Amino acid sequence: MLDTIEVLVTRVIAEAQGVKSWELAREDGSPLPSFTAGAHIDLKLANGLVRSYSLCNSQDEANRYLIAVNNDPQSRGGSKFIHDMLGLGDLVSISAPRNHFPLVEDAGHVVFVAGGIGITPIYSMIQRLEALGRSWELHYSARTKEMCAFRSQFEVLEQRRPGRVHFNFDHEPGGRMIDLKDVLAKSDANAHFYCCGPAPMLQAFEDAAKALGLPSPQIHVEYFTAMQEAATDGGFTVELARSKRSFFVSAGKTILETLLDNDVDVPSSCTQGFCGTCETAVIEGIPDHRDSVLSSEDQATNRTMMICCSGSKSEKLVLDL
């Protein structure tokens, strides 16, 4: 994590079964760096982990960030630590917000699909579209009503203008998985479509969009787990153009691990290719892209890469480091 900001936990609220929100603000209450809907911040936790979380409040709020975290039983240490250890009045270091999941604000209509805690960036986007008076609809899946974060807020929005919010509780009696092909097929084909949720839902969403022939610029997804295995075959050299050092990446290691092993300080967070923290400019060579941050068009240019998970198709990669 490069530049950090010290913030205070000013509120913790239980939002649903297993989900709490944390409000973060400067100690003196002064404004934080601005953000746009869909942005995330990194939290540097006291156990040494760095984890990314989407901001779920309105981008019009200058003095606070709101994150919501699911106490995931599969946690690699981040969400469990936050639930167990991050309390009211605690100080925490965060990064400034970055946005790899931007909202098209002038779309004629926006269709949102959220699964579980994937609602967080989408909740911020919906607040933005409400503020702009734009057209949207939400298809929000959770296992049960009790596990559905921000449900009462969406119920208020639905009362304000009915027909926009569609809940799906797949573990309730008679419940079943949301049929994304059906959702997308019934929507305006000129709309923009956003999905954030678990990997199988994202895959089903992308498959449905492809099967229906929806143009890729109208399809927007955000992964918060790895989409592919990291490239660890090794067998290539990484040259750092600015520091004029080079390293051989051995089998079993990623580029990031190789650099950290050699005391090269590079920022990273998720280490799984979905947060964008380790994005690095490529000067020469052909990366083996494994991330879920860059679009396939961006990957094809080979101008940047995520060094935590992507490898090399060429014998040498020259990086702008």
- Residues that bind ligand FES in the complex, under the rule CB under 6 A: 268-271, 273-278, 291, 293, 306, 308
Quote the least distance from Cβ 247 to ligand FES, whole Å.
18
- Using DSSP, state whether 80 is helix, strand or coil: helix
C-alpha span between 320 and 239 (Å, rounded):
9
Closer CB to ligand FES, residue 168 or residue 271? 271
Cα–Cα nearest to 92, from 56, 54, 55, 41? 41
Closer CB to ligand FES, residue 39 or residue 138? 39
Q: Calculate the alpha carbon distances from 215 to 72, 155, 190, 200, 219 in Å.
A: 34, 31, 9, 21, 7
Closer CB to ligand FES, residue 122 or residue 306? 306
CB 222, CB 121: distance < 8 Å: yes
Sign of the dihedral defined by the CA atoms of residues 6, 11, 15, 19, in that order: positive
Quote the least distance from Cβ 42 to ligand FES, whole Å.
9
* The three-state (H, E, C) secondary structure of 1-17, written as one string: CCCEEEEEEEEEEEEEC
CA angle 307, 282, 45 (to 5 degrees): 30
Quote the least distance from Cβ 311 to ligand FES, whole Å.
13
Quote the least distance from Cβ 280 to ligand FES, whole Å.
9
CB 51, CB 269: distance < 8 Å: yes
Closer CB to ligand FES, residue 195 or residue 308? 308
Quote the least distance from Cβ 207 to ligand FES, whole Å.
23
C-alpha span between 222 and 247 (Å, rounded):
32
Closer CB to ligand FES, residue 67 or residue 308? 308
Quote the least distance from Cβ 142 to ligand FES, whole Å.
26
Quote the least distance from Cβ 299 to ligand FES, whole Å.
13
User: Other C-beta atoms within 10 Å of 318: how many?
Assistant: 17
Closer CB to ligand FES, residue 82 or residue 278? 278
User: Other C-beta atoms within 10 Å of 167: how many?
Assistant: 17
Closer CB to ligand FES, residue 71 or residue 225? 225
